[in-house]
Amino acid sequence: MKKINKKSLNGFINYGIVIAAFAVIQVLLGMGRLSNSLQSLLVPACCYIVMAVSLNLTVGILGELSLGHAGFMSLGAFSGITVSILLQNALPMASARLAVSMAVGAVAGALGGAIVGVPVLRLQGDYLAIVTLAFGQIIKNIIMVLYVGVDETGFHIAASSERFNLGSDGVAIIKGPMGAVGVTKLASFTAGFVLIMITLLVVQNLVNSRSGRAIMALRDNRIAAESVGINVTKYKLMAFVTSAALAGAAGALWGLNYSSTVASKFDFNTSILVLVFVVLGGLGSIRGSIIAAALLYVLPEMLRGLGLDDFRMLIYAIVLILVMLATNNDQLKALVGRVIPKRKKVAANG
Amino acid sequence: MKKKNLAALLMAGAMCFSLLAGCSSSGGQNSTAPSEAGTQESKPAGDNQGSDVVTIKVGGIGPTTGNNAQYGTATEWGAEIAVDEINAQNGPIRLELQYEDDTGVADTAVSAYNSLKDWGAQVIYGCTTTAPCVAVAAETFADRYFQLTPSASSPDVTANKDNAFQMCFTDPGQGTAAAEYLKSSGLGTKIGVIYNNGDAYSTGIADAFIAHAKEIGLEVVATSTYPEDTTTDYTVQLNACKDAGADLVFLPIYYTPASLILAQAKQMNYAPIFFGGDGMDGMLDMDGFDKSLAEGLLLMTPFNASGTDERTKTFVETYQAAHGILPNQFAADGYDCMYAIYEACCQIDGIDGMDHAQLCDALIALFTGGDFSVDGLTGTGMKWLTTGEISKAPVVVKVENGGYVTQ
Amino acid sequence: MSFLNNVITGVSLGSIYAIIALGYTMVYGIAKMLNFAHGDIIMVGAYMCFFAMGSFSLPPAAGVLLAVVVCTVLGIVIERLAYKPLRSAPSLAVLITAIGVSYLLQNSAQLLWGADTKTFRPLVEGSLVLVPDQLSISYVAVLSIACCVVVMIALTLFTGQTKMGKAMRACSEDKAAAQLMGIDVNATISMTFAIGSALAAVAGVLMCSAYPVLSPTTGSMPGIRAFTAAVFGGIGSVPGALLGGILLGVIETFAKAYISTALSDAVVFAVLIIVLLVKPAGLMGKYVPEKV
């Protein structure tokens, strides 16, 4: 304890921020001071925070651009929904069913991550980006033609509605382009909070471990890292699969927050949206991802009711560009540096 | 360097002008929107003599930006015209419409719905597209809001929810009706189907059509799909129908991809009878569309913009004056939704002081009571079943000389 | 015969992908940035031509010219305002800015021109009959293939022979060294965007001639497809973009015709992944091993 470990301190501050935010929101909820529209944003915002933190693991800490993060979310969402419906009778307790569904979602995401990761992590930079994009499209395309259901004869799965012969008493879980409908909503803000805490725990411990240092060494200089005996594939895969698993869990939470979910939700635009959160929050900065995801997800909704409806998305685009320009402006950075000289020093040392 | 900057600035200015010049044809919508909002607000205030005038707050949801913006804006504008008319009548009920954008996405739609709750909405009007509507209907069901959708046609919208009602035909209903029509009219002995397998509306109609066609003995020789409405090339799908010898192609899809299919069929000299659903309405009004391509096209639509009755004429004129384009069935369904809500509210005793849940129950009782019916642009004597489904007769029209002719 | 028909369909579709991919790859090769707004510049170009030919009844040539001029200016303005200040920023920052520009263009287009779909009047109509009643290829496809080849040759000559082109290649290799050699890096990159945007205008007009619908989101999906095509052929390689575009179109058509129309997207992207696994730098890209 003589030397305060800055990294772990940083991590504790992140937990603190999340817990404080949770507490404040709970108090506001208790007092009834939170509008309906803000309340409805809580769970999806939690999902996006987890998505952003997990993508940051791939993009910021591993240093590989991924454009298909929503694909893992999709895997998690649909497997989570399926499990929650299958367990409807076996596990009547909602919170337990939610936990199991999220765990299954995480496993599905991890499997997807491993399937994509093993062959393609050999590729670099923009080529990896396009493969993750392609993967996201493939997932979307496949789920869109998938029919899944359960009846008394068992579990049914088919690739078209004609071959999907569910018994009359059966429950259709996923109906191709209609997606999953009639889902019982299980997600809650508390579950979202717990998932964020787990995500922070996993990601921060990974980053501060031996493996995490190896992963960052790969990002900074792959050849140098390889030459000191770091197993490239192993550590790349470790980061990538962890990231995919967390995205899967977030997907399951998402899927169980709405009564219906369609595969087209998890398209290229959603992947890009999460990437925007990560980059705006700062590559490699977990705290930045959390704050950026929370603020930017809420921003377009906050622009409602200002009488600017027609210009809502236009303003969003302009804010996006201006923020990027401002945060990368050297003069502005220098100014900030003069005002808060200490920060600069810490940054230089760290 | 300075000179270059100046030059860039000048060019930017020039570009802005050219952009503005380009929009002159459709620019009307921007300039009229604020004035319209102004009249809407001032009217109730100006005419409000007695205290017995009740204002019902209607919260509308639909995509006004993104890929489906054309459908969302149509349902918004159609409803606005109805609201203006209703408020000008000085009746006992006034409507106040607040419309929120859902970009065609379910989670945004739920957020939009919640912000409408904050605004104080008493009745929900929407959503325009199916997937968001299913998600919102689950919320309105739990919160007890009456919901009427102009165009979300999947049975999932109303399934197991007593509070959700539709102004449009359901998808399976339309598919079955299409098959029945083909059987009775004797058009087409070999039928091809091309549909969007990534879209609930299209798949819903196609599945029901194919299933019913089999039952009543129609021969479906080719079934072909495409994954998204942004698909541009349909040659392969058309070839599949052509090679199978289809003399009628059923297209349960929206008009944008359909216009491409018609153009590409012409290019490959394939001229079967094309038959579409209500999503096809609007094709003739596409800016720059070559109407000869659609000659002979059959479609099922509840609305005919070239209709001669007084109400349709006024509606079309008002719509065109305000937005510069002809209204399609989305707009007409939106218009009818407002009248359905208005006429129902007029029949409710003691509506003043009702909260949204009481209003919801009263409206449900009325809509499912069997005596309530509405005349509108998309049908006369329209009634609702207890499932929330509408019962009105589908009308098949044929495109002749660039206009609709009822069959 | 149906096989040949599918080949022609695929090549026609591919030529559209290729002409978009050429602009994409050009910008990427020099500026090393994924310009996600490229698809939306295509959309603006198409709208310009649409209004020139529709509202002002100008001849097609004038429409194309107007589209090219407007897009070039637009490209330069976007580059000045949004990308140039980020020259020294991390490439991801530029990527996000490009996405912001893409949203901006789409939403501005919707506010200016409305959300309704417009039908584009093709530059040329009709088709070239190869075998009567069985095999034909549309003139638009012929025109776009010709355009692709012309543009490809012009770009190759330009980057290989002219002073400006050489400066571009130098910037692409090493910006700092190029600057030391007296090359105005900023001007060179601006020039790249100007050319890329002019190509986007041509691509927009050709795309909308081939598939005549136009809405504010028209450019986004072809943009992604063209990006895929450019990577497929080896991003940064001009002939690669042409090859990648055509192949992508043919694969997509074959997947629809012989495998499944419902799963064609999945098949296309699966083929892409397999190709990249075998040839990690794309079909014609140079694989540059990292040196220490």
Residue listed under structure tokens 């997937």: B131
Q: Which pLDDT band, with edges at 50, 70 and 90, does C260 fall under?
A: confident
Kindly list the residues from chain B whose CB atom is less than 8 angstroms away from the CB atom of residue C220: 230
Residue listed under structure tokens 């009959």: C129
In the three-class reduction of DSSP (H, G, I as helix; E, B as strand; rest coil), residue A180 is classed as strand
What is this structure's pTM? 0.86
Closest CA to B81 of B283, B284, B311: B311
- Model pLDDT, residue B280: 87
- Model pLDDT, residue C201: 95
The verdict on a CB contact (< 8 Å) between B22 and C66 is: no
- The 8 Å CB, 24+ separation contacts for B89-94 are B90/B47, B91/B342, B91/B346, B92/B52, B92/B53, B92/B54, B92/B346, B93/B53, B93/B54, B93/B55, B93/B56, B93/B342, B93/B345, B93/B346, B93/B351, B94/B44, B94/B53, B94/B54, B94/B55, B94/B56
- Model pLDDT, residue B39: 39
Which residues contact residue A233 at a Cβ distance below 8 angstroms, ignoring those fewer than 6 apart?
A: A118, A121, A122
Which of the residue ranges A109-118, A162-171, A321-330 has the most confident prediction, judged by mean pLDDT? A109-118
Q: Give the mutation candidate from A178, A299, A309, A312 for the B interface (greatest B CB count, under 10 A).
A: A178
- Model pLDDT, residue A294: 93
Higher pLDDT: A130 or C43? It is C43
Query: Residue C290 corresponds to which amino acid?
Result: E
The verdict on a CB contact (< 8 Å) between B115 and A37 is: yes
Do residues A284 and A59 lie in contact, with contact meaning Cβ atoms separated by under 8 Å? no
- Model pLDDT, residue B84: 94
Q: Tell me which residue in A127, A138, A160 faces C269 most closely, judged by beta carbons.
A: A138
Query: Residue B59 corresponds to which amino acid?
Result: G
**Contacting C residues, span 194-253, partner chain B, CB-CB under 8 Å:** 207, 210-213, 215-217, 220-222, 252-253
Question: For the ranges A172-181, A296-305, B89-98, which has the lowest average pLDDT?
Answer: A296-305
> What single string gives the DSSP state of each residue in A55-108?
HHIIIIIS----S-HHHHHHHHHHHHHHHHHHTTTT---HHHHHHHHHHHHHHH
pLDDT in tens, B96-118: 999 999 988 898 999 999 999 99
Q: Where are the domains of chain A?
A: 6-302
Name the CATH superfamily, with its identifier, for domain B172-301.
Response regulator (3.40.50.2300)
Q: Classify residue A331 as exposed, middle or buried by CB count within 10 Å of its CB (0-12, 13-18, 19+).
A: exposed
- Model pLDDT, residue B44: 42
**Contacting A residues, span 101-160, partner chain C, CB-CB under 8 Å:** 119-120, 122-124, 126-127, 129-131, 133-135, 137-138, 140-142, 144-145, 159-160
In degrees, rounded to 5, the angle at the alpha carbon of residue A56 between the alpha carbons of residues A252 and A264 is: 40
The verdict on a CB contact (< 8 Å) between A161 and B207 is: yes
Would an 8 Å CB–CB cutoff place C82 in contact with chain A? Answer: yes
Would an 8 Å CB–CB cutoff place C1 in contact with chain B? Answer: no
Q: Tell me which residue in C95, C231, C269 faces A137 most closely, judged by beta carbons.
A: C269
- Model pLDDT, residue C289: 63
Would an 8 Å CB–CB cutoff place C15 in contact with chain B? Answer: no
Q: Give the mutation candidate from A273, A304, A312, A316 for the B interface (greatest B CB count, under 10 A).
A: A304
How many interchain CB pairs under 8 A, A with C?
122
Q: Where are the domains of chain C?
A: 20-219
The verdict on a CB contact (< 8 Å) between B115 and A36 is: yes
Q: Tell me which residue in B21, B233, B287 faces C116 most closely, judged by beta carbons.
A: B287
To the nearest whole angstrom, how far is the Cα of C52 from the nearest Cα of chain B?
8
Q: Answer yes or no: is pLDDT of A116 > 50.
A: yes
Q: Tell me which residue in B19, B66, B233 faces C211 most closely, judged by beta carbons.
A: B233
Q: Classify residue A51 as exposed, middle or buried by CB count within 10 Å of its CB (0-12, 13-18, 19+).
A: buried
The verdict on a CB contact (< 8 Å) between A224 and C86 is: no
Kindly list the residues from chain A whose CB atom is less than 8 angstroms away from the CB atom of residue C107: 311, 313-314, 317
Partners of chain C (3+ Cβ pairs below 8 A): A, B
Backbone region of residue A282 per phi and psi (left: phi > 0; alpha: psi in -120 to 50; beta: other values): left
* Tokens describing residue C64: 């194309």
**Contacting B residues, span 291-320, partner chain C, CB-CB under 8 Å:** none
Would an 8 Å CB–CB cutoff place B66 in contact with chain C? Answer: yes
pLDDT in tens, A223-277: 899 899 999 889 999 999 999 999 999 999 999 999 889 988 898 889 989 999 9
- Model pLDDT, residue B316: 94
To the nearest whole angstrom, how far is the Cα of C37 from the nearest Cα of chain B?
16
DSSP A35: -
Per-residue pLDDT of chain B (407 residues), as tens digits, is 444 444 444 444 444 444 333 333 333 333 333 333 333 443 344 444 445 789 999 999 999 888 788 889 999 999 999 999 999 998 889 999 999 999 888 989 999 999 999 999 999 998 998 889 999 999 999 999 999 999 998 998 998 899 999 999 899 999 999 999 999 988 888 999 999 988 888 999 999 999 999 999 999 999 999 988 788 889 899 999 999 999 999 999 988 899 999 999 988 889 999 999 888 888 888 888 888 899 999 998 888 888 888 999 999 999 999 998 889 889 999 999 999 999 999 998 888 888 999 999 999 999 998 889 999 999 888 999 989 999 887 789 999 988 888 87
Partners of chain A (3+ Cβ pairs below 8 A): B, C
Kindly list the residues from chain C whose CB atom is less than 8 angstroms away from the CB atom of residue B223: none
* Tokens describing residue B292: 């000869």
The whole-chain average pLDDT of chain A stands at 87
Do residues C42 and C20 lie in contact, with contact meaning Cβ atoms separated by under 8 Å? yes
Higher pLDDT: B34 or C222? It is C222
pLDDT in tens, B46-68: 444 445 789 999 999 999 888 78
**Contacting B residues, span 205-234, partner chain C, CB-CB under 8 Å:** 224-228, 230, 232-233
| Mean pLDDT on A300-319 | 77
Closest CA to C72 of C186, C165, C201, C158: C201
Q: Give the mutation candidate from B17, B68, B235 for the C interface (greatest C CB count, under 10 A).
A: B235
Higher pLDDT: A349 or A197? It is A197
**Contacting C residues, span 32-51, partner chain B, CB-CB under 8 Å:** 47-48, 50-51
To the nearest whole angstrom, how far is the Cα of A38 from the nearest Cα of chain B?
8
The verdict on a CB contact (< 8 Å) between B101 and A309 is: yes
Higher pLDDT: C288 or C20? It is C20
Query: Residue A117 corresponds to which amino acid?
Result: G
The verdict on a CB contact (< 8 Å) between B107 and A145 is: no
pLDDT in tens, C36-65: 899 999 999 999 999 998 888 888 899 999
Closest CA to C11 of C281, C266, C251, C229: C251
- Model pLDDT, residue A162: 73
In this structure, what is the dihedral angle of CA atoms C168, C169, C172, C174, given to the nearest 10 degrees?
-110
Domain A6-302 has CATH 1.10.3470: yes
Partners of chain B (3+ Cβ pairs below 8 A): A, C
Kindly list the residues from chain B whose CB atom is less than 8 angstroms away from the CB atom of residue A305: 115, 118-119
Domain B52-169+310-391 has CATH 3.40.50.2300: yes
The HSE-up count of residue B192 (CA atoms within 13 Å, CB side) is: 23
The verdict on a CB contact (< 8 Å) between C2 and B290 is: no
Would an 8 Å CB–CB cutoff place C132 in contact with chain A? Answer: no
> What single string gives the DSSP state of each residue in C106-165?
HHHHHHHH-SS-EEPPPSS-SEEEEETTTEEEEHHHHHHHHHHHHHHHHHHHHHHHSHHH
Q: Tell me which residue in C89, C280, C292 faces A122 most closely, judged by beta carbons.
A: C280
Higher pLDDT: C224 or C14? It is C14
Would an 8 Å CB–CB cutoff place B380 in contact with chain C? Answer: no
Residue ranges of alpha helices (H) inside chain C are 2-31, 38-54, 60-78, 91-113, 139-161, 163-173, 175-180, 185-210, 220-233, 238-254, 264-278
